[in-house]
C-alpha cells in the first residue's frame, strides 16, 4: 500500500487517474480508516488531500460559500458568517461524532462515505448545496443529492475528486435547521434525521421549502410532497401535522437494533415538525 | 503549617495524577523489551462443539511468524485443577487455554500466533482456518431457566441463601398489599479502558518479570507459578498502573497464560495485548432472572419478602455472587424466603463486576419496593424509612453502623424530594415528562488479611510499600495520606510503592476492601515505626521522653513529642543519629477482627435520588439529576471518594438505560462486541450528579474506620432510574436496559 500526500489538486487528480490498483482519497479518515481496519476495503494507494492548501479554506464570495473539501467540521462551526447564514448545515456537521472526530472529519467525507445516516447530508440537501467535482475530464458542478446512490456507493466516476461544496448566498427571510434522533446523546448513529430549509415572503408565508430525511431510506430523501405542504403556510399546527404525515409516508427505512420501521416512520414525522418550526423561527429573524 | 487533622479526609489530588496525565505512567502493554515477540489470539467462531482441524499453513508462511500454538502442540502445563485455581477461582474446572478440541463458548482462544511484530501476529491469526463440528448452543437464560440448579459447592458461604425465617408464603397470602414480578437483567461487560495485556521479560536463570493488567500482582504470580511449576522467587509480577478493571481483572486471563507459555517455550520476552473484542469473551456480569414478591400491611410494614434469583454460569465453572440475600437484610421483615440458582449456558464464565450480585439483586428489590409503595399508597422514601432495621436478620447479628437515616434525610433534602407529586405522569417541564425516583443501596464492608511496610528516613522521607493495586481508585493517594497523618509530613514526603508481587502480602483489589485492609496495615506499620523510634529515644541520655508510653507520643514537625505538650520531645534526626540509623522500618499485618465478626455484620449504605426527563413523543430518557447520599464510614479523601461514587452512578445509569450484551441465540455469538455497539453512557448523557457522604463513625468495620467505596456507588442506581421512569410515564419496565422501544411499547398503568 502506498500513501501519498500531494500539495496540489492537479497532482491529486493526476495520481488518482494513473493509480494502478484501488485508490482511495483520504480526508479526515474517520470513515476510511475505520473501514480499512475492519477489513472492508484494502486500497493500494491512499491519496491524502489535507496538504492541498486550496482545499483547506472556506471562501465567502458574491455567490455564497465555497467550502474546501479538506475543511474539518470543527472549522465550519468556528466560521461566524457560515454559521449565521446556514445554521442547519453547521448543526449537522457539528453533530458528527465527538470534538475529536470533528477536528478531523469533513462534510465531503461524510457525503462520499454515502451512509444513509450521515449527519451533514440532509441539511446539505435541504440547502440545495452543490458539489464542485474535478476529474480527468475537467470540472463539473452537481447537486449533492445526486452523489450518494446507495449505502457506501456514489455516482462519482473513477478518478473524480470533490473539490468543494458550494452553498448559495443566503436570501432574506430564510433559515434552515437539522436534528437527528439517537438513543444516546452523542457518539451514536442517527436512527432518523430531518432537515428543513425555508424562505419566507415579507408576510411570513413560506415561499420556498426543501425537506430532507436521513436514515429513512438507502439514501437521504428529498421529500417534495412535504415541501409542498409547507409552501404557502405559516408553519401552523395544521401544516405541521400534514408535514409529519407526509414525512412518515415517504420513509422507506429498515428494521434493526436501533429502531423498527414503524418507529422510524413516526420519528421522521416528529423530527420534521420540530425542525420545520426551528427553521421557520430562524427565517423570521432575518 | 500543616493541619494534621486535615491530611486524611481532605480532597488531596491523586499523587499519581501527574504521571498519568503526562503519559509517564506505563500500563502493562506499554513496556518494551529488546528482541521481544508479540502474540495474537485466534478466537473460536462457534459457541459449542469440537475443533476438527486447524489449518495454520497460510499463517505460518507469513513473514515474521515465529510459531503458532494450538491444542495440538501446546507445551505442557499443570495437570491438576488445583494448580490452575487462582485466589478468586470458582467451584468447577478453571479454563485452560488451548487444552483440547472442545469449544465451550464463542470467542474461546483456539490458536495463538507468536511473531516478530504485533501486525504480523494479528495478520497471521486472521489466516488460520479452523474446521469445527458445531453443536447447537444454548445461550438464552429465560429459555433455559427450567434447567436451573442450586450450586452444589458454594463459592463462599455467605453467598448461600440464609435459612428461611417465619412463613413467607403464608404471610404473603394473608397480607392486604402485595406485589410480585419478574425482573430480567441482560449480561453486561466491564469494558475498562485498558485492554488486558501482559509483557513478559525473559531473564537469566529462568527469571521472569511480568507486567500484567491485573487486580492482584501476587494472584497472577501464584497462578503462573502453579500452572508452569515455577519458583515464586523467580517470578515478579508488576501492575504499577491499572486502567480500570471493575472486577474483570480479578482472575488471571488467557493473555497471561499464553504470554508466559510462549516466553518459556521460546526463551524470549513476549507481549500479548487483547483486542477490545476479546474483552467481551471474558468474565462478565451474568444475565439474571429474578422473581421478587413483597407484601405489606396497610401502613407499609413489610409482612413478607420472597426473592428467587437465577443467573448464568458457564459449562465448566459455577460462578456465584450474592444476588438475593440483600432482600433478607435491607429491611425489617420476619417472613423471608430467599432462593438462588444457576443455569449453565454455552457462554464464558461470568465474573465479578462492580458490586457483583448487589447491582443485580438490589435493582430488583428496590424496584419492587417502589411498586409496593404505589400499591400501599405511600411515598417510596417513607416506605423505606418505616422498614428500617438496625440488625442483620439474615445472620442474626448486630450491625456495626448504619447511618442510612442520614442518607435518606440529607439526600432527600438536597434533591428536593418533598416537592414530588406522587401521581405518575403528573410532573412536566415543557414537552418533557418529569419523573423522580429513589432507591436504597447496600454493600458489604469487608476487610481481608493484608500486610504493609513503612520506612521513615532520618531526613523525614517516608516510604510505604505493599503489593496492593491501584485500579484507578486512588489507592496510591490514600495510603500516602494515612502515612503522612502519622508522621505529620506533607504528602510529597511520602513515596508509595505498590503494584509489585515482591512487596508485603496483599490480596486482590476487589470487593471494596483495599482501603480498609492495606490502609489499616499502613497505619499499623507507621505506628510501629513511631514505637520503635520511642524505644531509640528512650535509650538516649536524659531523654525527655523517658517516661512516655507509646500512646502518649506522636510525631510533630519532624520531632517525636508528647501529645499533651509538644515542647517536650526530640528531633527524629537526632534519635536516629544517636541510634546510628539512617531509617526505621516496620512491617505490620492486619486482618478482620474475628471476635467482632461473630457478633457484628458491617455494610455500607446509600440512598439514590434520580430525576429523569422524557421526551414523550420519542421515548428518549435523560437522567438530568442524581443525588447519591452514602454512608461508608470514614472518608479518607473527599476527592477520590467522590470520584468512586460518580463512576458508580454513571455505570448504574448505563445499566438502567444502555448496557446489554446482545447474543444471537441461534449461533450463541455475541453481536455487539465493540464500544460502538455496546453502549455505555457518553459524556453528554451525564448531567448533574451530586454526592453526599453522611457522617458515620465506625471503629468495628475496620481499624481505620473505613468501609470501602468501590461498589456502593452503583448499587440501587438502576432501580432509582427505573422508578423515576415509572413516575414520569406510569410505565413499569422490569427488563433492563430500559430502551426506547420498551418505553413506547409498554402500557401505562392507571
Ligand atoms: C467515532 C466516530 C464517530 C462518528 N460519528 C458520526 C456521526 O455522529 N455522524 C456521522 O454522520 N458520521 C459519523 N462518523 C463517520 C465519519 O466521521 C463521517 O462520515 C465523516 O464526515 C467522514 O469524513 P472524513 O473526512 O473523515 O472522511 P474520510 O474517512 O477521509 O473519507 C470518507 C470517504 O469519502 C471519500 N472522500 C473523502 N474526501 C473525498 C473527496 N474530496 N472527493 C471524493 N471522495 C472523497 C473517501 O475516499 C472515503 O471513501 C463517525 C466516525 C467515527 C470514527
Q: Which grid cell is A159?
A: 478518478
CA B364, chain centre distance (Å): 20
- According to DSSP, the residues that pair with B53 across neighbouring strands are B131
Q: Sort out which chain A residues have CB atoms less than 8 A from B682's CB and list them.
A: 98, 184-188
CA A116, chain centre distance (Å): 10
The CATH classification number of B447-591 equals 3.30.365.10
Q: What is the pLDDT of residue B3?
A: 64
Clarify whether residues A155 and A182 are in a common domain: no
Does the pLDDT at position B512 exceed 90?
no
Does the pLDDT at position B518 exceed 80?
yes
Q: What is the pLDDT of residue A257?
A: 78
CATH number at residue A208: 3.30.390.50
Does the pLDDT at position B339 exceed 70?
yes
- Taking the C-alpha atoms of residue B386 and residue B395, their distance in angstroms, rounded to an integer, is 21
Clarify whether residues A12 and A122 are in a common domain: yes
Cis peptide before B575 (omega within 30 of 0): no
- Taking the C-alpha atoms of residue B674 and residue B662, their distance in angstroms, rounded to an integer, is 11
Q: Which of A147, A168, A189 is the last residue of a domain?
A: A168
Domain parsing of chain B, residue ranges: 37-135+192-275, 145-188+284-446+599-745, 447-591
Residue A227 pLDDT class (50, 70, 90 cuts): very high
Q: What is the pLDDT of residue A259?
A: 83
Clarify whether residues A213 and A241 are in a common domain: yes
DSSP B492-527: GGEEEE-SBTTSS-B--S-TT-HHHHHHHHHHHHHH
Low-confidence winner among A204-208, B465-469, B593-597, B599-603 (lowest mean pLDDT): B593-597
Strand ranges across the sheet with B583-590: B494-497, B462-465, B450-457, B583-590
Q: Which of A105, A140, A168 is the last residue of a domain?
A: A168
Which of B433, B428, B429, B488 lies closest to B456 in space, CA to CA? B488
Q: Is B476 left (phi over 0), alpha (psi -120 to 50) or beta?
A: alpha
Tell me the pLDDT tens digit for each residue of B634-681: 999 999 999 999 999 999 999 999 999 999 999 999 999 999 999 999
Q: What is the pLDDT of residue B5?
A: 66
Does the pLDDT at position B510 exceed 90?
no
Q: How far is the CA of A110 from the centre of ligand 1 (A)?
A: 4
Residue B181 pLDDT class (50, 70, 90 cuts): very high
Clarify whether residues A25 and A137 are in a common domain: yes
Q: What is the mean pLDDT of residues B486-499?
A: 97
Q: What is the pLDDT of residue B4?
A: 65
B145-188+284-446+599-745, CATH topology level: Aldehyde Oxidoreductase; domain 4 (3.30.365)
- Taking the C-alpha atoms of residue B289 and residue A31, their distance in angstroms, rounded to an integer, is 40
Matching fold, domains B37-135+192-275 and B447-591: no
Q: How far is the CA of A37 from the centre of ligand 1 (A)?
A: 14
CB within 8 Å: A188 and B617: no
Clarify whether residues A118 and A213 are in a common domain: no
Q: Which grid cell is B219?
A: 494472584
CATH number at residue A62: 3.30.465.10
Q: What is the pLDDT of residue B549?
A: 96
Would strands B432-444 and B450-457 be described as parallel, antiparallel, or unpaired?
unpaired
- Taking the C-alpha atoms of residue B247 and residue B190, their distance in angstroms, rounded to an integer, is 8
Strand ranges across the sheet with B65-69: B65-69, B109-115, B37-43, B270-273, B197-202, B208-212, B235-238
Q: Which grid cell is B407?
A: 442518607
Cis peptide before B352 (omega within 30 of 0): no
Does the pLDDT at position B384 exceed 70?
yes
**Share of chain A residues as helix, strand and coil, in percent rounded to the nearest 5:** 35, 25, 35
Clarify whether residues A157 and A194 are in a common domain: no
Length of chain A equals 286
Q: What is the mean pLDDT of residues B619-627?
A: 96
- According to DSSP, the residues that pair with B339 across neighbouring strands are B308
Tell me the pLDDT tens digit for each residue of B113-135: 999 999 999 999 999 999 999 99
Q: Sort out which chain B residues have CB atoms less than 8 A from A263's CB and list them.
A: 740-741, 744
DSSP B12-53: PPPTTHHHHHTT-SPPGGG---TT-EEEEEEE-SSSSEEEEE
Clarify whether residues A212 and A271 are in a common domain: yes
Compute CA distances B14 → B496, B641, B691, whole Å.
12, 11, 19
Tell me the pLDDT tens digit for each residue of B15-49: 999 999 999 999 999 999 999 999 999 999 999 99
CA B738, chain centre distance (Å): 24
The separation between the first and the last C-alpha atoms of chain B, rounded to the nearest angstrom, is: 64
Clarify whether residues A132 and A9 are in a common domain: yes
Closest residue by Cα to atom 17, ligand 1, is A30
- According to DSSP, the residues that pair with B607 across neighbouring strands are B440, B629
Task: Give me the phi and psi of A129, to 5 degrees please.
Answer: -65, 150
Domain extent for A191: 174-284
The DSSP letter of residue B462 is E
Clarify whether residues A33 and A71 are in a common domain: yes
Asked if B129 and B307 count as a contact pair (C-beta separation under 8 A), the reply is no
Non-local CB neighbours of B23 within 8 Å, separated by 6+ positions: none
Q: What is the pLDDT of residue B6?
A: 77
Does the pLDDT at position B509 exceed 60?
yes
Asked if B221 and B193 count as a contact pair (C-beta separation under 8 A), the reply is no
CB within 8 Å: B683 and A270: no
Q: What is the pLDDT of residue A260?
A: 87
Length of chain B equals 750
Clarify whether residues A11 and A147 are in a common domain: yes
Q: How far is the CA of A113 from the centre of ligand 1 (A)?
A: 6
Q: Which grid cell is B597?
A: 465478626
Residue B582 pLDDT class (50, 70, 90 cuts): very high
Mean pLDDT of chain B: 96
Does the pLDDT at position B108 exceed 90?
yes
Tell me the pLDDT tens digit for each residue of B270-280: 999 999 999 99
Question: Which secondary structure element, helix H or strand E, spans residue B745, and what is its range?
Answer: helix B740-745
Mutation probe of ligand 1 site: the residue of A23, A31, A165 with most atoms within 8 A of C-beta: A31
Mutation probe of ligand 1 site: the residue of A47, A105, A187 with most atoms within 8 A of C-beta: A105
DSSP B91-134: SBPPP-TT-SSEE-STT-EEEEEEESSHHHHHHHHHT-EEEEEE
Burial degree of B572 (CB within 10 A; 0-12, 13-18, 19+):
buried
Q: What is the pLDDT of residue B1?
A: 40
Asked if A16 and A47 count as a contact pair (C-beta separation under 8 A), the reply is yes
Closest residue by Cα to atom 36, ligand 1, is A109
CB within 8 Å: B741 and A187: no
Compute CA distances B738 → A182, A192, B723, B733, whole Å.
15, 20, 11, 7
Assess if CATH 3.90.1170.50 describes domain B37-135+192-275.
Answer: yes
Does the pLDDT at position B749 exceed 90?
no
Compute CA distances B404 → B91, B104, B178, B382, B538, whole Å.
35, 44, 25, 13, 47
Q: Which grid cell is B632?
A: 461508608
Q: Which of A168, A202, A230 is the last residue of a domain?
A: A168
Mean pLDDT of chain A: 95
Q: What is the pLDDT of residue A110?
A: 98
Does the pLDDT at position B463 exceed 50?
yes
The number of folded domains in chain A is 2
Q: Sort out which chain A residues have CB atoms less than 8 A from B740's CB and list them.
A: 183, 259, 263
Q: What is the pLDDT of residue A258?
A: 80
Coil/strand/helix, residue A39: coil
CA B319, chain centre distance (Å): 15
Longest dimension (CA), chain B: 86
Clarify whether residues A144 and A40 are in a common domain: yes
Tell me the pLDDT tens digit for each residue of B674-728: 999 999 999 999 999 999 999 999 999 999 999 999 999 999 999 999 999 999 9
Asked if B69 and B54 count as a contact pair (C-beta separation under 8 A), the reply is no
Coil/strand/helix, residue B107: coil
Clarify whether residues A47 and A148 are in a common domain: yes
State the complex-level ipTM: 0.91
CB atoms within 10 A of CB B511: 24
Amino acid at each position: 500500500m502506498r500513501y501519498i500526500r500531494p500539495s496540489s489538486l492537479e497532482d491529486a487528480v493526476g495520481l488518482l487517474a494513473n493509480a494502478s490498483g484501488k485508490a482511495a482519497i483520504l480526508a479526515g479518515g474517520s470513515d476510511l480508516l475505520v473501514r480499512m481496519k475492519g477489513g472492508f476495503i484494502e486500497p493500494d494507494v491512499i491519496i491524502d488531500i489535507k496538504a492541498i492548501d486550496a482545499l483547506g479554506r472556506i471562501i465567502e464570495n458574491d455567490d455564497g460559500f465555497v467550502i474546501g473539501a479538506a475543511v474539518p467540521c470543527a472549522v465550519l462551526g468556528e466560521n461566524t458568517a457560515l454559521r449565521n447564514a446556514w445554521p442547519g448545515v453547521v448543526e449537522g456537521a457539528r453533530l458528527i461524532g465527538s470534538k475529536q472526530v470533528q477536528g478531523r472529519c469533513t462534510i465531503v467525507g461524510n457525503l462520499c462515505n454515502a451512509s444513509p445516516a450521515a449527519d451533514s447530508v440532509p441539511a446539505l440537501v435541504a440547502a440545495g448545496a452543490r458539489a464542485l467535482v474535478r476529474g480527468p475530464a475537467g470540472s463539473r458542478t452537481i447537486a449533492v443529492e445526486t452523489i450518494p446512490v446507495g449505502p457506501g456507493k456514489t455516482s462519482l466516476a473513477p478518478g473524480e475528486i470533490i473539490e468543494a461544496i458550494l452553498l448559495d448566498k443566503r436570501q432574506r427571510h430564510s433559515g434552515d435547521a437539522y436534528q437527528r434522533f439517537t438513543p444516546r446523546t452523542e457518539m451514536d448513529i442517527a436512527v432518523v434525521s430531518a432537515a428543513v430549509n425555508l424562505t419566507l415572503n415579507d408576510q411570513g408565508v413560506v415561499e420556498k421549502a426543501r425537506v430532507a430525511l436521513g436514515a429513512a431510506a438507502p439514501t437521504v430523501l428529498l421529500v417534495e410532497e412535504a415541501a409542498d405542504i409547507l409552501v404557502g403556510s405559516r408553519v401552523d399546527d395544521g401544516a405541521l401535522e400534514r408535514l409529519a404525515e407526509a414525512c412518515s409516508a415517504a420513509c422507506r427505512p429498515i428494521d434493526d437494533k436501533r429502531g423498527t420501521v414503524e418507529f422510524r416512520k413516526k420519528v421522521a414525522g416528529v423530527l420534521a415538525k420540530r425542525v420545520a418550526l426551528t427553521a421557520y423561527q430562524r427565517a423570521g429573524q432575518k | 503549617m500543616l493541619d494534621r487533622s486535615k491530611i486524611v479526609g481532605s480532597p488531596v489530588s491523586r499523587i499519581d495524577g501527574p504521571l498519568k496525565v503526562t503519559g509517564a505512567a506505563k500500563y502493562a502493554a506499554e513496556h518494551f523489551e529488546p528482541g521481544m515477540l508479540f502474540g495474537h489470539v485466534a478466537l473460536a467462531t462457534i459457541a459449542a462443539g469440537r475443533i476438527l482441524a486447524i489449518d495454520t499453513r497460510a499463517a505460518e508462511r507469513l513473514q515474521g511468524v515465529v510459531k503458532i500454538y494450538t491444542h495440538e502442540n501446546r507445551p505442557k502445563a499443570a495437570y491438576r485443577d488445583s494448580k490452575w485455581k487462582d485466589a478468586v477461582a470458582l467451584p468447577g474446572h478453571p479454563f485452560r487455554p488451548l487444552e483440547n478440541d472442545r469449544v465451550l463458548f464463542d470467542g474461546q482462544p483456539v490458536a495463538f500466533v507468536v511473531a516478530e511484530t504485533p501486525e504480523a501476529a494479528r495478520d497471521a491469526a486472521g489466516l488460520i482456518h479452523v474446521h469445527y463440528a458445531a453443536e447447537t448452543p444454548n445461550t438464552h437464560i429465560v429459555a433455559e431457566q427450567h434447567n436451573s440448579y442450586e450450586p452444589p459447592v458454594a463459592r463462599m458461604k455467605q453467598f448461600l441463601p440464609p435459612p428461611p425465617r417465619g412463613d413467607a408464603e403464608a404471610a404473603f397470602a394473608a397480607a392486604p398489599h402485595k406485589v410480585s414480578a419478574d425482573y430480567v437483567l441482560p449480561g453486561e461487560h466491564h469494558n475498562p479502558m485498558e485492554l488486558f495485556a501482559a509483557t513478559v521479560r525473559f531473564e537469566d536463570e529462568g527469571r521472569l518479570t511480568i507486567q500484567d493488567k491485573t487486580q492482584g500482582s501476587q494472584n497472577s504470580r501464584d497462578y503462573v507459578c502453579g500452572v508452569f511449576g515455577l519458583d515464586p522467587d523467580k517470578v515478579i509480577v508488576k501492575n504499577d498502573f491499572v486502567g480500570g478493571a471493575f472486577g474483570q481483572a480479578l482472575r488471571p486471563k488467557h493473555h497471561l497464560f499464553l504470554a508466559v507459555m510462549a516466553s518459556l517455550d521460546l526463551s524470549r520476552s513476549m507481549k500479548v495485548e487483547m483486542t477490545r473484542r476479546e474483552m467481551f469473551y471474558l468474565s462478565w456480569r451474568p444475565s439474571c432472572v429474578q422473581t421478587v414478591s413483597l407484601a405489606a400491611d396497610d401502613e407499609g410494614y413489610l409482612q413478607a419478602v420472597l426473592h428467587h434469583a437465577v443467573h448464568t454460569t458457564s459449562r465448566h465453572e459455577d460462578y456465584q455472587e450474592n444476588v438475593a440475600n440483600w432482600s433478607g437484610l435491607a429491611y425489617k421483615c420476619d417472613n423471608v424466603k430467599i432462593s438462588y440458582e444457576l443455569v449453565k449456558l454455552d457462554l464464558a464464565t461470568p465474573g465479578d463486576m462492580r458490586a457483583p450480585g448487589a447491582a443485580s439483586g438490589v435493582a430488583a428489590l428496590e424496584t419492587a419496593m417502589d411498586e409496593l409503595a404505589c400499591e400501599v399508597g405511600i411515598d417510596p422514601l417513607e416506605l423505606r424509612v418505616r422498614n428500617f432495621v438496625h440488625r442483620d436478620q439474615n445472620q442474626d447479628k448486630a450491625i456495626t453502623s448504619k447511618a442510612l437515616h442520614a442518607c435518606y434525610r440529607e439526600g432527600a433534602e438536597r434533591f428536593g424530594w418533598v416537592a414530588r407529586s406522587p401521581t405518575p405522569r403528573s410532573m412536566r417541564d415543557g414537552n418533557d415528562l418529569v419523573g423522580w425516583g429513589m432507591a436504597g443501596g447496600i454493600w458489604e464492608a469487608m476487610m481481608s488479611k493484608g500486610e504493609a511496610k513503612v520506612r521513615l528516613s532520618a531526613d523525614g522521607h517516608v516510604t510505604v510499600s505493599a503489593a496492593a493495586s491501584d485500579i484507578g481508585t486512588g489507592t496510591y493517594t490514600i495510603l500516602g495520606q494515612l502515612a503522612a497523618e502519622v508522621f505529620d509530613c506533607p504528602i510529597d514526603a511520602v513515596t508509595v510503592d505498590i503494584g509489585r508481587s515482591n512487596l508485603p502480602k496483599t490480596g486482590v483489589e476487589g470487593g471494596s476492601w483495599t482501603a480498609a485492609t492495606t490502609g489499616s496495615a499502613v497505619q499499623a506499620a507507621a505506628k510501629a515505626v513511631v514505637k520503635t523510634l520511642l524505644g531509640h529515644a528512650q535509650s538516649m541520655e536524659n531523654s525527655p521522653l523517658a517516661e512516655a508510653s507509646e500512646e502518649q507520643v506522636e510525631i510533630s514537625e519532624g520531632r517525636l513529642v508528647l501529645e499533651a505538650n509538644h515542647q517536650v520531645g526530640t528531633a527524629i534526626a537526632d534519635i536516629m543519629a544517636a541510634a546510628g540509623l539512617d531509617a526505621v522500618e516496620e512491617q505490620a499485618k492486619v486482618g478482620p477482627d474475628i471476635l467482632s465478626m461473630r457478633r457484628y455484620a458491617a455494610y455500607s449504605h446509600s440512598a439514590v435520588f434520580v430525576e429523569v426527563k422524557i421526551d414523550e413523543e420519542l421515548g428518549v430518557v435523560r437522567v438530568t439529576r442524581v443525588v447519591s447520599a452514602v454512608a461508608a464510614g470514614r472518608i479518607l479523601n473527599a476527592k477520590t471518594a467522590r470520584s468512586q461514587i460518580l463512576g458508580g452512578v454513571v455505570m448504574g445509569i448505563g445499566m438502567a438505560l444502555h448496557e446489554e450484551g446482545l447474543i444471537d441465540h441461534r449461533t450463541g455469538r455475541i453481536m455487539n462486541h465493540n464500544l460502538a455497539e455496546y453502549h455505555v453512557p457518553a459524556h453528554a448523557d451525564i448531567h448533574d450528579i451530586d454526592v453526599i457522604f453522611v457522617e458515620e463513625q465506625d471503629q468495628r468495620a475496620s481499624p481505620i474506620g473505613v468501609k470501602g467505596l468501590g461498589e456502593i456507588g452503583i448499587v440501587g442506581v438502576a432501580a432509582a432510574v427505573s422508578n423515576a421512569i415509572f413516575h414520569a410515564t406510569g410505565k413499569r419496565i422490569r427488563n433492563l436496559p430500559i430502551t426506547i422501544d420498551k418505553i413506547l411499547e409498554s402500557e401505562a398503568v392507571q
